């Protein structure tokens, strides 16, 4: 496959290199600390913070945090390179971004593929996945969907050439599970696409500056803004179950990490995760406070 390197791609690669260098630098200073990182995305940040709190407050192990690692791709390269030890990830992201495999819609199959490939290729363990599936979801204002009788993604075909799609920057460019793959799979394109920060998508949909957005299934702002989520009737979007990934050498030294974290992720169903995301994204509560309150409420860390 021929790759075309744009200015944006070159800048992104440079940023990724700088980010990984910055992460790797403190290694000698904190050799015993377990290094936990996450991208600047609410849900992944919350999962990363939960993992850090469990390891630190329940297991009593030293932790070093690396928040806001840009996009998912940068964070994935950080754990693969060994710059960090622990990362919350999604099966669909790993399939498309890292393994370059076609999307898999079955959650169990998607998890098994990434679990086995990461173990073999990178010596990284995928702990048990969450039951919630934070897949991409096309959504538009519910009143407009009702007026035009749009219930599925296929129903967008007559309107899409006249409409604007709002999406994350990553989705706009990702060839397999992003806009290029989606438009090919469904056989239509939008008149224009506006890549933007995730939080701005919901504001844009609410104000009418975009017609449809690529939302996330567990985002509480879907309900707040009054969006209708469309049925993925041709089964394009892959499974995006979350899981905490841990480098094998860390698990070999501290095997207790696995069961302690899996107890938490096993408790996170769709309804619970939407509620927690809403506390951060809608109510404006600090993500650390949301994560810590949940862990204490459930008895995963001491009061």
- Domain coordinates of the chain in residue numbers? 7-132+240-297, 136-229
pLDDT at 144 > cutoff 60? yes
Helix (H, G, I), strand (E, B) or coil at 85: coil
Phi-psi region of 28 (alpha: psi -120 to 50; beta: other; left: phi over 0): alpha
Measure the CA–CA gap between 210 and 107, rounded to whole angstroms. Answer: 31
pLDDT at 4 > cutoff 60? no
pLDDT bucket at 31, cuts 50 / 70 / 90? low
CATH number for the segment(s) 136-229? 3.40.190.120
Phi-psi region of 60 (alpha: psi -120 to 50; beta: other; left: phi over 0): left
Q: 5-19, 31-45, 54-68, 234-248: which has the minimum mean pLDDT?
A: 5-19
| The two domains 7-132+240-297 and 136-229 share their CATH topology (first three levels equal) | yes
Measure the CA–CA gap between 96 and 88, rounded to whole angstroms. Answer: 16
Q: Which CATH topology does 7-132+240-297 take?
A: D-Maltodextrin-Binding Protein; domain 2 (3.40.190)
Give the sheet arrangement for strand 86-90, strand by strand: 63-66, 34-37, 86-90, 242-247, 124-126
pLDDT at 8 > cutoff 80? no
pLDDT at 9 > cutoff 60? no
Alpha carbon of residue 261 to chain centroid: 18
Percent of the chain with pLDDT over 90: 82
Q: Across the strands, what pairs with 141?
A: 227
pLDDT bucket at 18, cuts 50 / 70 / 90? very low
Look at residue 23 in the predicted model and tell me its pLDDT.
53
Cβ-based burial of 255 (10 A; exposed 0-12, middle 13-18, buried ≥19): exposed
pLDDT, tens only, 158-172: 999 999 999 999 899
Q: Residue 175's closest CA among 79, 75, 101, 230?
A: 101
The mean of the pLDDT values for the chain is 90
Look at residue 40 in the predicted model and tell me its pLDDT.
87
Structure tokens at 275: 């509620």
Structure tokens at 186: 């469904």
């Amino acid at each position: 496959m021929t790759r075309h390197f744009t200015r944006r791609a070159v800048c992104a690669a440079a940023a990724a290199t700088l980010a990984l260098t910055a992460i790797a630098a403190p290694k000698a200073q904190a050799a015993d600390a377990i290094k936990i990182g996450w991208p600047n995305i609410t849900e992944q940040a919350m999962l990363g913070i939960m993992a850090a709190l469990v390891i630190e407050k329940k297991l009593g192990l030293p932790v070093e945090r690396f928040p806001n690692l840009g996009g998912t791709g940068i964070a994935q390269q950080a754990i693969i390179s060994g710059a960090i030890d622990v990362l919350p990830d999604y099966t669909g992201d790993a399939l498309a971004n890292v393994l370059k495999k076609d999307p898999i819609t079955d959650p169990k199959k998607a998890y098994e593929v990434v679990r086995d490939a990461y173990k073999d290729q990178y010596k990284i363990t995928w702990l048990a996945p969450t039951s919630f599936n934070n897949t991409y979801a096309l959504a538009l204002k519910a009143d407009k969907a009702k007026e035009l009788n749009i219930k599925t993604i296929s129903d967008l075909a007559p309107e899409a050439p006249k409409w604007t799609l709002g999406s994350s920057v990553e989705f706009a460019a990702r060839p397999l599970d992003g806009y290029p793959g989606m438009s090919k799979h469904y056989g239509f394109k939008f008149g224009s696409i506006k890549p933007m920060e995730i939080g701005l998508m919901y504001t844009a949909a609410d104000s009418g500056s975009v017609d449809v957005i690529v939302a996330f299934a567990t985002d509480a702002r879907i309900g707040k803004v009054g969006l209708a989520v469309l049925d993925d009737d041709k089964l394009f979007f892959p499974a995006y179950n979350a899981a905490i990934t841990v480098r094998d050498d860390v698990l070999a030294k501290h095997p207790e990490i696995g069961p302690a974290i899996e107890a938490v992720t096993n408790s996170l169903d769709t309804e619970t995760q939407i509620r927690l995301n809403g506390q951060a994204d809608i109510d404006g509560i600090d993500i650390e406070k949301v994560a810590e309150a949940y862990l204490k409420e459930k008895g995963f860390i001491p009061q």
